[in-house]
Protein backbone atom coordinates (compact mmCIF):
# COMPACT_ATOMS: atom_id res chain seq x y z
CA UNK A 1 0.00 0.00 0.00
CA UNK A 2 1.43 3.38 -1.03
CA UNK A 3 1.90 5.82 1.82
CA UNK A 4 0.59 9.35 1.78
CA UNK A 5 3.06 12.24 1.45
CA UNK A 6 2.52 13.13 5.11
CA UNK A 7 3.18 9.55 6.22
CA UNK A 8 6.31 9.47 4.06
CA UNK A 9 7.51 12.75 5.51
CA UNK A 10 6.88 11.54 9.06
CA UNK A 11 8.73 8.30 8.40
CA UNK A 12 11.62 10.16 6.79
CA UNK A 13 11.89 12.71 9.61
CA UNK A 14 11.90 9.95 12.22
CA UNK A 15 14.70 8.14 10.37
CA UNK A 16 16.71 11.38 10.32
CA UNK A 17 16.12 12.01 14.01
CA UNK A 18 17.06 8.43 14.93
CA UNK A 19 20.25 8.78 12.92
CA UNK A 20 21.17 12.05 14.63
CA UNK A 21 20.53 10.48 18.04
CA UNK A 22 22.82 7.58 17.14
CA UNK A 23 25.68 9.96 16.35
CA UNK A 24 25.33 11.88 19.61
CA UNK A 25 25.13 8.62 21.55
CA UNK A 26 28.75 7.94 20.65
CA UNK A 27 30.05 11.07 22.39
CA UNK A 28 28.26 11.23 25.71
CA UNK A 29 24.61 12.06 25.02
CA UNK A 30 22.18 9.87 26.94
CA UNK A 31 20.33 7.78 24.36
CA UNK A 32 19.07 4.26 23.87
CA UNK A 33 20.96 4.03 20.55
CA UNK A 34 24.56 3.02 21.09
CA UNK A 35 26.70 2.51 18.00
CA UNK A 36 29.96 0.65 18.47
CA UNK A 37 31.55 2.51 15.57
CA UNK A 38 30.57 5.10 13.03
CA UNK A 39 31.77 8.11 11.08
CA UNK A 40 34.24 10.57 12.53
CA UNK A 41 32.33 12.87 14.87
CA UNK A 42 32.40 16.43 13.53
CA UNK A 43 30.65 18.65 16.10
CA UNK A 44 29.90 21.90 14.29
CA UNK A 45 27.85 20.64 11.30
CA UNK A 46 26.14 18.04 13.52
CA UNK A 47 25.14 20.74 16.04
CA UNK A 48 23.58 22.79 13.24
CA UNK A 49 21.75 19.76 11.85
CA UNK A 50 20.54 18.83 15.33
CA UNK A 51 19.26 22.32 16.13
CA UNK A 52 17.40 22.53 12.81
CA UNK A 53 15.81 19.08 13.04
CA UNK A 54 15.53 19.24 16.83
CA UNK A 55 12.80 21.82 16.49
CA UNK A 56 10.62 18.79 15.79
CA UNK A 57 12.13 16.86 18.71
CA UNK A 58 12.48 18.99 21.87
CA UNK A 59 14.27 16.17 23.66
CA UNK A 60 17.02 16.13 21.02
CA UNK A 61 17.29 19.93 21.01
CA UNK A 62 17.79 20.03 24.76
CA UNK A 63 20.14 17.04 24.71
CA UNK A 64 22.42 19.04 22.42
CA UNK A 65 22.31 21.96 24.87
CA UNK A 66 23.23 19.53 27.65
CA UNK A 67 26.18 18.23 25.63
CA UNK A 68 27.37 21.76 24.86
CA UNK A 69 27.10 22.62 28.55
CA UNK A 70 29.50 19.75 29.37
CA UNK A 71 31.74 19.64 26.29
CA UNK A 72 31.38 23.08 24.72
CA UNK A 73 34.99 23.94 25.43
CA UNK A 74 35.97 21.78 22.44
CA UNK A 75 33.68 23.63 20.00
CA UNK A 76 35.13 25.90 17.33
CA UNK A 77 32.51 28.65 17.44
CA UNK A 78 34.08 30.56 14.54
CA UNK A 79 33.63 27.52 12.33
CA UNK A 80 30.15 26.94 13.77
CA UNK A 81 29.03 30.44 12.91
CA UNK A 82 30.52 30.38 9.42
CA UNK A 83 28.95 27.05 8.53
CA UNK A 84 25.61 28.37 9.81
CA UNK A 85 25.99 31.48 7.68
CA UNK A 86 26.59 29.28 4.65
CA UNK A 87 23.12 27.81 5.11
CA UNK A 88 21.66 31.26 4.34
CA UNK A 89 17.86 31.22 4.57
CA UNK A 90 17.82 27.55 5.60
CA UNK A 91 18.94 28.38 9.13
CA UNK A 92 17.92 31.22 11.44
CA UNK A 93 21.02 32.75 12.98
CA UNK A 94 19.09 34.21 15.91
CA UNK A 95 18.42 30.65 17.10
CA UNK A 96 22.15 29.98 17.16
CA UNK A 97 22.56 33.26 19.01
CA UNK A 98 20.08 32.11 21.67
CA UNK A 99 22.04 28.87 22.09
CA UNK A 100 25.31 30.82 22.41
CA UNK A 101 23.75 33.16 24.96
CA UNK A 102 22.53 30.15 26.95
CA UNK A 103 26.08 28.79 27.01
CA UNK A 104 27.48 32.09 28.31
CA UNK A 105 25.70 31.46 31.59
CA UNK A 106 27.89 28.37 32.11
CA UNK A 107 31.05 29.19 30.14
CA UNK A 108 32.76 32.48 30.91
CA UNK A 109 35.16 32.30 27.95
CA UNK A 110 34.82 34.97 25.31
CA UNK A 111 33.94 32.68 22.40
CA UNK A 112 30.26 32.17 23.27
CA UNK A 113 29.86 35.74 24.52
CA UNK A 114 31.09 37.26 21.26
CA UNK A 115 28.78 35.12 19.11
CA UNK A 116 25.79 35.78 21.38
CA UNK A 117 26.40 39.51 21.10
CA UNK A 118 26.88 39.51 17.34
CA UNK A 119 23.78 37.39 16.64
CA UNK A 120 21.42 39.19 18.99
CA UNK A 121 18.60 40.85 17.02
CA UNK A 122 17.46 44.39 17.55
CA UNK A 123 14.02 45.07 18.95
CA UNK A 124 11.98 41.86 19.26
CA UNK A 125 8.32 42.61 18.56
CA UNK A 126 7.04 39.05 18.72
CA UNK A 127 8.51 35.63 19.37
CA UNK A 128 8.43 32.44 17.32
CA UNK A 129 8.06 29.01 18.90
CA UNK A 130 11.26 26.97 18.96
CA UNK A 131 9.13 23.81 18.74
CA UNK A 132 6.28 24.54 16.29
CA UNK A 133 5.25 20.87 16.11
CA UNK A 134 3.94 21.10 19.69
CA UNK A 135 1.09 23.31 18.52
CA UNK A 136 -0.83 24.76 21.47
CA UNK A 137 1.66 23.20 23.88
CA UNK A 138 4.29 25.52 22.45
CA UNK A 139 2.49 28.47 24.08
CA UNK A 140 4.12 28.32 27.47
CA UNK A 141 3.23 30.25 30.59
CA UNK A 142 6.83 30.74 31.62
CA UNK A 143 9.25 31.56 28.82
CA UNK A 144 12.98 31.08 28.76
CA UNK A 145 14.26 34.68 29.18
CA UNK A 146 17.43 34.11 27.16
CA UNK A 147 15.64 32.65 24.13
CA UNK A 148 12.98 35.37 24.40
CA UNK A 149 15.66 38.05 23.95
CA UNK A 150 16.46 36.49 20.60
CA UNK A 151 12.84 36.25 19.45
CA UNK A 152 12.15 32.65 20.43
CA UNK A 153 9.52 31.17 22.69
CA UNK A 154 10.09 28.03 24.75
CA UNK A 155 9.87 26.87 28.34
CA UNK A 156 13.01 27.53 30.42
CA UNK A 157 15.85 25.18 29.59
CA UNK A 158 17.02 23.12 32.55
CA UNK A 159 20.34 21.28 32.49
CA UNK A 160 19.48 17.60 32.89
CA UNK A 161 23.01 16.51 33.90
CA UNK A 162 22.60 13.42 31.69
CA UNK A 163 25.31 14.34 29.17
CA UNK A 164 28.71 12.88 29.93
CA UNK A 165 32.18 14.26 29.37
CA UNK A 166 33.85 13.05 26.20
CA UNK A 167 35.47 9.63 26.22
CA UNK A 168 38.66 10.45 24.36
CA UNK A 169 39.58 6.77 24.13
CA UNK A 170 36.84 6.37 21.49
CA UNK A 171 38.39 6.88 18.02
CA UNK A 172 35.10 8.44 16.81
CA UNK A 173 36.08 11.47 18.94
CA UNK A 174 39.47 11.78 17.20
CA UNK A 175 38.74 15.29 15.95
CA UNK A 176 37.95 16.52 19.46
CA UNK A 177 40.89 14.64 20.97
CA UNK A 178 43.19 16.45 18.54
CA UNK A 179 41.63 19.74 19.63
CA UNK A 180 42.28 18.85 23.24
CA UNK A 181 45.93 18.16 22.41
CA UNK A 182 46.70 20.86 19.83
CA UNK A 183 44.07 23.43 20.83
CA UNK A 184 40.72 24.26 19.24
CA UNK A 185 42.27 25.24 15.94
CA UNK A 186 42.08 24.43 12.26
CA UNK A 187 45.41 22.59 12.56
CA UNK A 188 43.90 20.09 14.97
CA UNK A 189 41.11 19.36 12.47
CA UNK A 190 43.60 18.98 9.62
CA UNK A 191 45.74 16.56 11.64
CA UNK A 192 42.70 14.45 12.52
CA UNK A 193 41.67 14.17 8.85
CA UNK A 194 45.19 13.23 7.77
CA UNK A 195 45.25 10.39 10.30
CA UNK A 196 42.31 8.81 8.48
CA UNK A 197 43.47 9.15 4.87
CA UNK A 198 46.74 8.25 3.18
CA UNK A 199 46.98 11.69 1.61
CA UNK A 200 44.78 14.70 0.94
CA UNK A 201 45.03 17.85 -1.14
CA UNK A 202 44.39 21.38 0.05
CA UNK A 203 41.09 21.39 -1.85
CA UNK A 204 39.91 18.13 -0.29
CA UNK A 205 40.75 19.30 3.22
CA UNK A 206 39.13 22.71 2.70
CA UNK A 207 35.95 21.18 1.29
CA UNK A 208 35.63 18.51 3.97
CA UNK A 209 36.28 20.87 6.87
CA UNK A 210 34.61 24.04 5.59
CA UNK A 211 37.71 26.21 5.78
CA UNK A 212 39.02 28.43 2.99
CA UNK A 213 41.64 26.94 0.71
CA UNK A 214 43.94 29.84 1.42
CA UNK A 215 43.92 29.26 5.17
CA UNK A 216 44.33 25.50 4.78
CA UNK A 217 47.26 26.01 2.40
CA UNK A 218 48.97 28.43 4.77
CA UNK A 219 48.47 26.08 7.72
CA UNK A 220 49.78 23.05 5.83
CA UNK A 221 52.79 24.99 4.57
CA UNK A 222 53.75 25.92 8.12
CA UNK A 223 52.97 22.46 9.50
CA UNK A 224 55.17 20.91 6.82
CA UNK A 225 58.20 22.80 8.13
CA UNK A 226 57.99 20.62 11.25
CA UNK A 227 58.65 17.59 9.00
CA UNK A 228 55.64 15.88 10.58
CA UNK A 229 53.52 16.70 7.53
CA UNK A 230 54.86 15.26 4.30
CA UNK A 231 54.32 16.75 0.85
CA UNK A 232 54.03 14.56 -2.23
CA UNK A 233 53.46 15.55 -5.84
CA UNK A 234 50.45 14.29 -7.79
CA UNK A 235 51.03 15.91 -11.14
CA UNK A 236 50.83 19.65 -10.56
CA UNK A 237 49.05 19.23 -7.25
CA UNK A 238 50.51 18.75 -3.78
CA UNK A 239 49.24 15.91 -1.60
CA UNK A 240 49.77 16.08 2.17
CA UNK A 241 50.10 13.17 4.59
CA UNK A 242 51.38 12.15 8.00
CA UNK A 243 52.92 8.95 9.26
CA UNK A 244 49.62 7.33 10.22
CA UNK A 245 51.16 4.69 12.47
CA UNK A 246 53.20 7.27 14.38
CA UNK A 247 50.18 9.59 14.59
CA UNK A 248 47.88 6.92 15.96
CA UNK A 249 50.54 5.82 18.40
CA UNK A 250 50.79 9.41 19.62
CA UNK A 251 47.03 9.76 20.10
CA UNK A 252 45.95 6.21 21.03
CA UNK A 253 49.13 4.23 21.79
CA UNK A 254 48.74 2.32 18.53
CA UNK A 255 46.62 1.69 15.45
CA UNK A 256 42.90 1.19 16.26
CA UNK A 257 42.84 -2.40 14.99
CA UNK A 258 45.81 -3.25 17.24
CA UNK A 259 43.85 -1.98 20.25
CA UNK A 260 40.64 -3.83 19.35
CA UNK A 261 39.00 -0.63 18.09
CA UNK A 262 37.55 0.38 14.74
CA UNK A 263 38.94 3.32 12.81
CA UNK A 264 36.15 5.86 12.22
CA UNK A 265 34.90 6.46 8.69
CA UNK A 266 35.73 9.68 6.91
CA UNK A 267 32.53 11.49 6.01
CA UNK A 268 31.70 14.92 4.63
CA UNK A 269 29.49 16.12 7.47
CA UNK A 270 29.44 19.69 6.15
CA UNK A 271 27.75 18.74 2.89
CA UNK A 272 25.49 16.16 4.48
CA UNK A 273 24.21 18.60 7.12
CA UNK A 274 23.68 21.30 4.51
CA UNK A 275 21.74 18.97 2.22
CA UNK A 276 19.65 17.48 5.01
CA UNK A 277 18.70 20.86 6.46
CA UNK A 278 17.74 22.06 2.98
CA UNK A 279 15.37 19.18 2.24
CA UNK A 280 14.07 19.06 5.85
CA UNK A 281 12.97 22.70 5.70
CA UNK A 282 11.33 22.22 2.31
CA UNK A 283 9.41 19.16 3.48
CA UNK A 284 8.08 20.87 6.59
CA UNK A 285 7.11 24.03 4.70
CA UNK A 286 4.52 22.05 2.72
CA UNK A 287 0.95 21.32 3.75
CA UNK A 288 0.76 17.58 3.16
CA UNK A 289 -2.43 16.78 5.05
CA UNK A 290 -4.43 16.00 1.90
CA UNK A 291 -1.85 16.05 -0.88
CA UNK A 292 -1.92 13.11 -3.35
CA UNK A 293 1.43 11.43 -3.96
CA UNK A 294 1.40 12.46 -7.63
CA UNK A 295 1.07 16.14 -6.70
CA UNK A 296 3.73 15.73 -4.02
CA UNK A 297 6.22 14.23 -6.48
CA UNK A 298 5.46 16.91 -9.05
CA UNK A 299 5.98 19.72 -6.56
CA UNK A 300 9.09 18.20 -4.98
CA UNK A 301 11.03 17.34 -8.16
CA UNK A 302 12.93 20.65 -8.22
CA UNK A 303 13.56 20.49 -4.47
CA UNK A 304 15.10 17.02 -4.63
CA UNK A 305 17.18 17.89 -7.68
CA UNK A 306 18.53 20.96 -5.88
CA UNK A 307 19.19 18.97 -2.72
CA UNK A 308 21.48 16.62 -4.67
CA UNK A 309 23.81 19.56 -5.26
CA UNK A 310 23.86 20.21 -1.53
CA UNK A 311 24.32 16.54 -0.57
CA UNK A 312 26.98 15.97 -3.21
CA UNK A 313 28.74 12.64 -2.63
CA UNK A 314 26.73 12.06 0.55
CA UNK A 315 23.47 11.44 -1.32
CA UNK A 316 22.31 7.82 -1.67
CA UNK A 317 23.72 5.63 -4.41
CA UNK A 318 21.59 5.54 -7.53
CA UNK A 319 19.99 8.96 -6.99
CA UNK A 320 22.19 10.56 -9.65
CA UNK A 321 19.40 9.82 -12.11
CA UNK A 322 16.12 11.75 -12.12
CA UNK A 323 13.88 9.76 -9.82
CA UNK A 324 10.66 10.51 -8.01
CA UNK A 325 11.10 12.45 -4.74
CA UNK A 326 9.32 9.67 -2.86
CA UNK A 327 11.97 7.21 -4.11
CA UNK A 328 14.76 9.63 -3.20
CA UNK A 329 13.47 9.94 0.37
CA UNK A 330 13.10 6.17 0.72
CA UNK A 331 16.66 5.63 -0.54
CA UNK A 332 17.90 8.12 2.03
CA UNK A 333 15.93 6.37 4.76
CA UNK A 334 17.42 3.02 3.82
CA UNK A 335 20.90 4.46 4.32
CA UNK A 336 20.09 6.20 7.58
CA UNK A 337 18.47 3.19 9.21
CA UNK A 338 21.75 1.29 8.81
CA UNK A 339 23.22 3.69 11.36
CA UNK A 340 25.79 5.08 8.94
CA UNK A 341 25.69 7.95 6.46
CA UNK A 342 24.90 7.27 2.81
CA UNK A 343 27.70 5.70 0.81
CA UNK A 344 29.74 7.37 -1.88
CA UNK A 345 28.39 7.19 -5.37
CA UNK A 346 30.02 6.25 -8.63
CA UNK A 347 32.28 8.76 -10.37
CA UNK A 348 29.59 9.62 -12.90
CA UNK A 349 27.60 11.33 -10.16
CA UNK A 350 30.64 13.07 -8.71
CA UNK A 351 31.51 14.67 -12.02
CA UNK A 352 27.92 15.77 -12.51
CA UNK A 353 28.04 17.78 -9.30
CA UNK A 354 31.20 19.85 -9.67
CA UNK A 355 33.34 16.80 -8.89
CA UNK A 356 32.87 17.04 -5.08
CA UNK A 357 35.42 14.27 -4.46
CA UNK A 358 38.12 16.66 -5.64
CA UNK A 359 37.03 20.21 -6.18
CA UNK A 360 33.94 20.70 -4.05
CA UNK A 361 30.91 22.85 -4.76
CA UNK A 362 31.54 26.34 -6.02
CA UNK A 363 28.96 27.75 -3.63
CA UNK A 364 30.21 26.09 -0.42
CA UNK A 365 30.91 28.38 2.50
CA UNK A 366 34.50 28.70 3.62
CA UNK A 367 35.94 30.13 6.82
CA UNK A 368 38.17 33.05 6.01
CA UNK A 369 37.19 33.01 2.33
Domains (ranges, CATH) in the chain? 1-41+270-362 (no CATH), 171-259 (1.10.10.10)
For the segment 329-355, what is each residue's pLDDT rounded down to a tens digit? 988 888 776 555 665 443 332 222 233
Q: Where are the alpha helices (DSSP H) in 145-212?
A: 145-149, 174-182, 186-194, 202-209
Residue 238's DSSP bridge partners are: 233
Q: 157: pLDDT confidence band, cut at 50, 70 and 90?
A: very high
The sign of the torsion formed by the CA atoms of 287, 92, 58, 308 equals positive
Separation between Cα atoms, residue 17 and residue 31, nearest integer Å: 12
Kind plus residue range of the DSSP H or E element containing 111: helix 110-118
pLDDT recorded at residue 31: 79
For the segment 52-96, what is each residue's pLDDT rounded down to a tens digit? 999 999 999 999 999 999 999 999 999 999 999 999 888 999 999
For the segment 176-233, what is each residue's pLDDT rounded down to a tens digit? 999 999 999 999 999 999 999 889 999 999 999 999 999 999 999 999 999 899 999 8
Q: Where are the beta strands (DSSP E) in the chain?
A: 128-129, 152-153, 229-234, 237-242
pLDDT recorded at residue 363: 34
Does the pTM surpass 0.85? The reply is yes
Q: 116: pLDDT confidence band, cut at 50, 70 and 90?
A: very high
Rg of the chain on CA atoms, in Å:
21
Kind plus residue range of the DSSP H or E element containing 46: helix 43-53
Give 218-246 as a DSSP string.
Answer: HHHHHHHTTTSEEEEEETTEEEEEE-HHH
Determine the 3-state secondary structure of 188 from DSSP.
Answer: helix
For the segment 218-246, what is each residue's pLDDT rounded down to a tens digit? 999 999 999 899 999 888 889 999 998 88
Amino acid sequence: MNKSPKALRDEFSQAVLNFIWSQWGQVGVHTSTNLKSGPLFDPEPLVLLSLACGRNDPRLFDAVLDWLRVNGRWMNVTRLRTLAGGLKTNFQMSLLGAVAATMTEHDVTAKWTAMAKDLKPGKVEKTESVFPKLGDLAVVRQKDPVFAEYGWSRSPWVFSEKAQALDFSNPVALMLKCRAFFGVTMRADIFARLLLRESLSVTELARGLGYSQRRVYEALTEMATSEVIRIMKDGARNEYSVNMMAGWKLMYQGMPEDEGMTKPQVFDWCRFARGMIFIWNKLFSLNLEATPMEDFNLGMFAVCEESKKEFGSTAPEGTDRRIEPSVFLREMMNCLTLGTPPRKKPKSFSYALDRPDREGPRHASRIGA
